[in-house]
Amino acid sequence: MTKKLIEQVTSGYQTKFQQKPQHYFFSPGRINLIGEHTDYNGGAVFPCAVTLGIYAAVGPSKDTNFHLYSANYQEKSLINLSRNELNRPKQKNWSDYFCGMVQEIIPQNLELKFGLNIYLAGDLPPAAGLSSSAALELLFGTILKNTYNLSIEKKDLILAGQRVENNYLGLKTGIMDQFAIGMGKQNQAILLNTNNMQYEYFPLELENNVIVIMNTNKPRTLIDSKYNERRKECNSALHKLQKELSINSLGDLTKDQFDEYTYLINDSILIKRARHAVFENQRTILAAKALKTHQLAKFGHLISASGISLAYDYEVTGKELDTLVQTALKIPGVLGSRMTGAGFGGCAIALVEENIVPSFIEQVQTVYNKKIGYPAKFYLAKTTDGPRELKVTI
């Protein structure tokens, strides 16, 4: 719990709403260690929830309306919604995540017997590839569940968050982000098979190494990016393979099977996209095994191999991410580095010896500033539990 942010949401709530909050909530962001763009291809992902996140102070409103305030959004920081407005179509601002979750978990608003004041602040940078969208969805879902005493399981909140992305916002994402956040555990990474939703926790034991998050400071907006295009390309490749293969997803294939049947795709772009999905799935499974058996050098190599595939086969990096990753990999004491999240801007990660972190950040920052023209931001990734109500004494 970050005392500074708790104090910020408390004072902000009292100033904005002229009363004291009754509840406090937190929702983490996530990093994906490896397994990128595999969740909608039926493959494995290996994420963990991180302490960078969003805090909320909450209480009943003096009227029947919903008053949402975010200290992290300069535009539309305060949004007032009547009960009827909760059923509105998307407005392309952050309150869509609240309206979307209400529509998913409270049909016809039947359980909303009073309005709410919600004040948000956090240290999770928006549009940075650390899943601020899913963090908001699960935060709002947890607030609604607890304040209205809803009978809804954690897995149903996770699925509701994905439906908000898919159906309400129109972004055809997989389940990884909501699952990683909703099921997050401190000091644990989650190996999730998105084909059958089976999962296993792995202790994140990195010995004398830490994970450094490197933020390009180039925001990425997935809905306006080529994210949906990549998904369509993978689906096209899958349909071509299904002419002779009985498979449900690209994640069903081994590397050897893919090589044997590549001729069915017969399109250079689609082959690259599908190859990433198939090979990344296999890399992710191997990486989890390497971590479990304390083969950190191998774990780092697989992370880096993932980054190469994302840059050249899936083409979702760009100058900013490439600069961070390529610079990091040249520094002694770095075991691996790659972009994390969907790409098109956002963040990269590096597995770095703890005693060289200050020097590492200085070296990467110098190169990045020179090549890109503005600084990156750096954070140490510390793991945490999933969305929850906080016990706070002010």
Element (DSSP H or E) covering residue 14: helix 3-17
**CA-to-CA distance for 276 and 306, rounded, in angstroms?**
8
Q: Could you tell me the CA-to-CA distances from 201 to 227, 282, 296 in Å, in that order?
A: 28, 18, 17
Contact 383, 52 (CB under 8 A): no
Specify whether 96 is catalytic.
no
DSSP string spanning 32-55? ESS-TT-GGGT-EE-EEEEEEEEE
Q: Could you tell me the CA-to-CA distances from 161 to 139, 168, 173, 384 in Å, in that order?
A: 10, 10, 11, 20
Residues whose CB is less than 8 angstroms from the CB of residue 305 and which lie 6 or more positions away in sequence, other chains included: 283
- Rg (alpha carbons) of the chain, rounded to whole number: 21
The one catalytic residue in 177, 252, 256, 267 is: 177
Task: Give me the half-sphere count of Cα atoms (radius 13 Å) on the Cβ side of residue 223.
Answer: 11
Q: Residue 94, SS3? A: coil
Contact 56, 118 (CB under 8 A): yes
Strand 66-70 versus strand 116-122 pairing type: parallel
Length of the chain: 394
**CA-to-CA distance for 203 and 286, rounded, in angstroms?**
15
335: DSSP letter = E
Beta-strand runs (E) in the chain: 23-32, 44-45, 47-60, 66-70, 78-81, 116-122, 188-193, 198-203, 209-215, 334-340, 347-353, 377-380, 388-390
Q: Which two structure tokens, joined as six digits, stand for 58?
A: 């909450």
Q: Could you tell me the CA-to-CA distances from 336 to 300, 303, 306, 369 in Å, in that order?
A: 4, 6, 10, 21
**CA-to-CA distance for 274 and 119, rounded, in angstroms?**
43
Catalytically active residues are 177
